[in-house]
Structure 1
Amino acid sequence: MTAAPTFTQVAPGTWTATANIWTSLTTAVISPDGACLLVDPGISVAELDALAQEAAERGWRVTAGFSTHPHWDHVLWHAAWDGPRWATAEAVESQERTRDADVAKAAATTPGHDPALFGRLTALPPEADEIPWDGPQAVVVRHRAHAPGHAALVLPHAATLLAGDMLSDLEIPLLDTDAADPLGDYWAALDTLERAAADHRVNTVIPGHGHVGDSAELARRIAADRRYLDALEQGREPDDDRLRTPWLAEEHRAHLARLRR
């Protein structure tokens, strides 16, 4: 039996738990009064049950959620949690289009999720640059890489960047191969995240999949991702240890096929 994920504090008022699938990270942002913003909770039903139980035992009240992007493993939820689940308007529209297929993907990988809770996202107002909740400030950093409507969060009080499915130590940059300019979108997103990190003096990075890193690790990951993109752009084979993972090598081949079209 695999161990249930548990929350570990990684920055002031910021806790993460690692799922057994894809080293996926759930992030909890905690207000001094116990209010909790949950970001990308997952992944299995048993894991969500464990996280809900632990949150209750710690006295956390989940009052809001945020999905960094509309892929199925980032739009999950638990019946014990309240409040809106925010996402960008583009992410909400994308999830509505793919919901039936995503429910099927979730059922095939981690069966038992309640379809009534799956992907029920609320669109942020177009002008919103923060999550509208009563807890610590969470700045929304919008971009177009990896998935429609992707957004990161910066927590200024914790000097922390929640990067969604970017800046992973385990995964190569995963392009949105359906986008008109997937490579250009990713280049621009890295620049956007780097600026946001500098503006808020970020010293902790939390990816959607992988491990929490410090400021030096953040810089290393940005540089590694740029080297990967540069190799793609120049038609060279990337020197990237992350490609030793078979499914990422397959994603790399898909990137090559898309860019040769």
Structure 2
Amino acid sequence: MATPLVEVADRVWVARHEWFDVNVTVIGGTTGLVVVDTLASTREMRGTLDAVRRLGEVVAVVNTHEHFDHVLGNSLFDGLPIHAHEETAAALERFRDDRPAYDGERSEEIDASPVVVPTDTFSSARVVDLGDRQVELLHPGRGHTAGDIVVRVPDVNVVVTGDLLEESAPPAYGEDSWPMDWPTSLDLVISLMTDETVVVPGHGAVVDLDFVHEQRGGIGVVAETIRDLAGRGIPASQALAEGEWPWPHEALRHAVARGYEQLPRASKRLPLI
């Protein structure tokens, strides 16, 4: 059964897929449609694309970041501009050239989906013109990855955040995350919002500004706890046990390791004996 596209604002639709609980966003204008993120496989995206084409012609694609569950449907958009941050394109080139086999559900389907690198990259900001509507792409800084971007539709006050925010799980701190930068990156994203903003996270249900503030608070606690523990000489191997954290330890293992790596040497004390 195809995942339905739900209109969350004028000509902005979201399909929340059960697989990975990941969102695809479609933005319409007089010249066509922009598709934001393309799911974890070509097959999965094809089902949604049939519904998208009933809304109009796709003229551009956006990848919010490089993780496979957001990009492996890119091949269905051959010949169209695929917009992404330059760090995302570089990461996908590396992934394409040295791609490990996927070890998980529907692995054959994922492995059979080609990696298509974004064609139109930028470092800070870009505007996609849809005729009667401007779609703004902005890199607020590093967080979930080095190349996160948010997509803003200003005329209807919609912001699509990719995995800088997640509704259905704790923020995903992976081996490529930047936990010490993430809070200030979210501060910039929040500056684009009002109390009426419709916020589409990378995973889970559509949220509002109150949710964004709450999750940003937790992400800030993670960064400040890492900074405090390192400053007191607590080694990274003991940080999870010593700190008070907003999310379960299993969600923060990479956050601690990456956070300690990010800290300048001067902010770390020698481990206490």
Q: Counterparts in 2 of 1:109-128, with a 5 A limit?
A: 109-112=106-109, 117-126=114-123, 128=125
Q: Whose radius of gyration is greater, 1 or 2?
A: 2
Kindly indicate whether the alpha-carbon contact (under 8 Å) linking 2:83 and 2:121 is maintained by their aligned counterparts in 1. Answer: yes
Selected match of 1:230 from 224, 244, 259:
224
Identity of aligned residues (%): 23
1:173–1:59 Cα change, 3 Å: closer
Q: Distance in 1 between matches of 2:104 and 2:159?
A: 30
Provide the TM-score with structure 1 as the length reference: 0.80
Q: Distance in 1 between matches of 2:175 and 2:74?
A: 31
Q: Distance in 1 between matches of 2:65 and 2:251?
A: 19
Q: Which runs of 5+ in 2 are unaligned?
A: 230-242, 262-273
Kindly indicate whether the alpha-carbon contact (under 8 Å) linking 1:141 and 1:152 is maintained by their aligned counterparts in 2. Answer: yes
Offset of residue 96 of structure 1: 0.7
Kindly indicate whether the alpha-carbon contact (under 8 Å) linking 1:27 and 1:40 is maintained by their aligned counterparts in 2. Answer: yes
Provide the TM-score with structure 2 as the length reference: 0.77
Could you tell me which residue of structure 2 aligns to residue 246 of structure 1?
none
SS in 1 for 2:25: strand
Offset of residue 223 of structure 1: 2.7
Q: Which amino acid aligns with 2:223?
A: L
Offset of residue 173 of structure 1: 3.1
Q: Which runs of 5+ in 1 are unaligned?
A: 244-248
Q: Distance in 2 between matches of 1:160 and 1:59?
A: 19
Q: Paired residues, what number?
A: 246
| Deviation by residue 1:41-65 (Cα, 9 ceiling, x = unmatched) | 2134443122121122x24211110
Q: Distance in 2 between matches of 1:13 and 1:104?
A: 38
Could you tell me which residue of structure 1 aligns to residue 142 of structure 2?
144
Offset of residue 260 of structure 1: 4.5
SS in 1 for 2:27: strand
| Deviation by residue 1:86-141 (Cα, 9 ceiling, x = unmatched) | 11122111211122445733997453358685233113344753235556212122
Q: Distance in 1 between matches of 2:220 and 2:18?
A: 28
Q: Distance in 1 between matches of 2:111 and 2:56?
A: 23
Could you tell me which residue of structure 2 aligns to residue 239 of structure 1?
246
SS in 2 for 1:36: strand
Q: Which amino acid aligns with 1:255?
A: A
Kindly indicate whether the alpha-carbon contact (under 8 Å) linking 1:43 and 1:110 is maintained by their aligned counterparts in 2. Answer: no
